Each structure stands twice: as structure tokens, then as C-alpha cells.
A and B are shown apart, each in its own frame.
Chain A
Amino acid sequence: MNMTGVEGIVLLGAIGLIMIGLAGLFMSNNVFRMVLALVILESGANLFLILAGFHGLGIAPIFLSNHAISDAGHMMNDPIPQALVLTAIVIGVGVQALALALILKIKAHYNTLDMSEIRQQMEYDLAKNNDVTLPASAQSPDSLVRSKVICQAEQTQPDHIQAKADVQQIGGSVNG
């Protein structure tokens, strides 16, 4: 591909967007910022796809009334990537709304958006529901954090946990 023209610059932009989005997904610790990084990553992929159907002197894939079909058809950009990207953008906003709904629910239950705190509390909940004692993990040597987490979880949602445990017992007896 011609790297010196417009295509080369746009290609750099698309790769930059993909790279920034990936780096944000890896490095951010806030769940909301991870959704923003996901949006950027998706935009970069869309730009890459559109670029694949572009050739230097092409025109938009729309016939005008004074076009001869065979002449105009040879000059047009590839319409198939455009149709694919059109659906991808709309699906992207649906996925984004689903992620935001999950984040709202996480904030309502755990009252935090920090990835490591959420993971800790979820591990605690899972262990409690399954009657497993948490092994002392090397990453969290201080028992202070865990006791804080335990207190918080017991204060906010014993009913919730109890209901889950009941369901699990019923399920276990049915399976047994």
C-alpha cells in the first residue's frame, strides 16, 4: 500500500487507536475507564476495516442519476466493509450499554469501581457461598484488608448471601 499518501497517515491513526485502547484496557484499574478504552479500541478496528476498502481516487458507493453504471462502478470504493462497519458501530453501542449496566450494578453492590477491590470482594463472596476458607494469598499478606472486606460484606448484604446459600443447598439436594 502507498505509505506516503493519505492512506499511510490514516493507517498510523488506526494502529495508534488500537494500541491506545489495548494499553488502556491493560493498564487502567478503574472499570469505567476500561469501558472507555474498549470504545477507543473498537473505533480503531472500524477505521482499519474502512481503510481496507479504500483506494486512492475512489468515490463514494452511491450512484447518481447522471452516472453510467459500469463507468462509475469501477471508480467506487468497496461497499462491503462499509456495510460491515455500519452494523459493527450499532452493535458496539449495545455492548457498551450492557457493560455500563453491569458497572452500575457493581457500584450498587460493592460501592467501588476499583478492579482489585472488586476482585477481592468477589473472591470472598464466592468462598463464603461455597463454605471454603480462603487460603492466605501471597498478594494480600495483610489480614487488615480482608477483615475490612469481611465486615463490609457482612454489613451490607447478609440476606443476599444467605439467599444464595439457600439456593445452593436446594440445588445440591436435587443433584444429590
Chain B
Amino acid sequence: MIWFVSLLVFVMLASAIAVLLLPNMLAAVVASSVVSLALAVLFALLKAPDVAMTEAAIGAGLSSLLLALALRRLGLWRLDDDDVN
């Protein structure tokens, strides 16, 4: 249990740092989705199932969809990471 939680927190923090450091915006959006997913599992482990469902549906689903749509409209939807920043 405690090892699983440690791994989850490590993955969450690592992808949160990746959100700030990745040069490709699409990859950053995907990393923020990973943060939300790990957060949803943590909420479920903290015995808050309602919040876990909300975070999984909104944070990992709808919010990423919103960010990706805005990315496409901004013209930053690129799969290769040459100076996008």
C-alpha cells in the first residue's frame, strides 16, 4: 500500500514537472492529463470516491479535451518538438 502510494506520488510529481519543462505543448497537455489521472487514483485511495470520479471525468477527460481543442485552434498542434515555445 505505502509503496504503491509512493510510486503514484512520484509519477504525479514527475509529470507535473514535465508539464513545465516539455517544449512541445501537446506533450505538456498529455502530461497534465497524467497528473489528473494519478490524482484521481489518490482520491480513491483516500476514500473519497465522489471526488475521484469527478477528477477522472473532468480533470483527465474534459479538461484535456478543452486544452487540446484550444491547442489546435492556436496552431500549436505539432507532434515533433522543434522550437514550438
Number of interface residues of A (CB under 8 A): 47
Do the beta carbons of B74 and A113 come within 8 Å of each other? yes
Q: Quick check: A6 and B48 within 8 Å, CB to CB?
A: no
User: In the complex, how many residues of chain B place their beta carbon closer than 8 angstroms to a beta carbon of chain A?
Assistant: 42
Smallest distance from the beta carbon of A46 to chain B beta carbons, Å? 8
B contact face: mostly helix, strand, loop, or mixed? helix
With both beta carbons as reference points, the residue of chain B lying nearest to A16 in the complex is identified as B13
Within 8 A of A (CB), among B1-53: 1-2, 5-6, 8-9, 12-13, 16-17, 19-20, 25, 28-29, 32, 35-36, 39, 42-43, 45-51
6 tightest Cβ-Cβ pairs between the two chains A and B: A13-B9, A100-B70, A24-B20, A60-B47, A20-B16, A16-B13
Q: Which residues of A contact B (CB under 8 A)?
A: 5-6, 9-10, 12-13, 16-17, 20-21, 23-24, 27-28, 30, 32-33, 35-37, 39-40, 43, 46-47, 50-51, 53-54, 58-60, 62, 77, 82, 85-86, 89-90, 93, 96-97, 100, 103-104, 107, 113
Please list the residues of chain B having a beta carbon within 8 angstroms of any beta carbon in chain A: 1-2, 5-6, 8-9, 12-13, 16-17, 19-20, 25, 28-29, 32, 35-36, 39, 42-43, 45-51, 54-55, 58-59, 62-63, 66-67, 70-71, 73-74, 76, 85
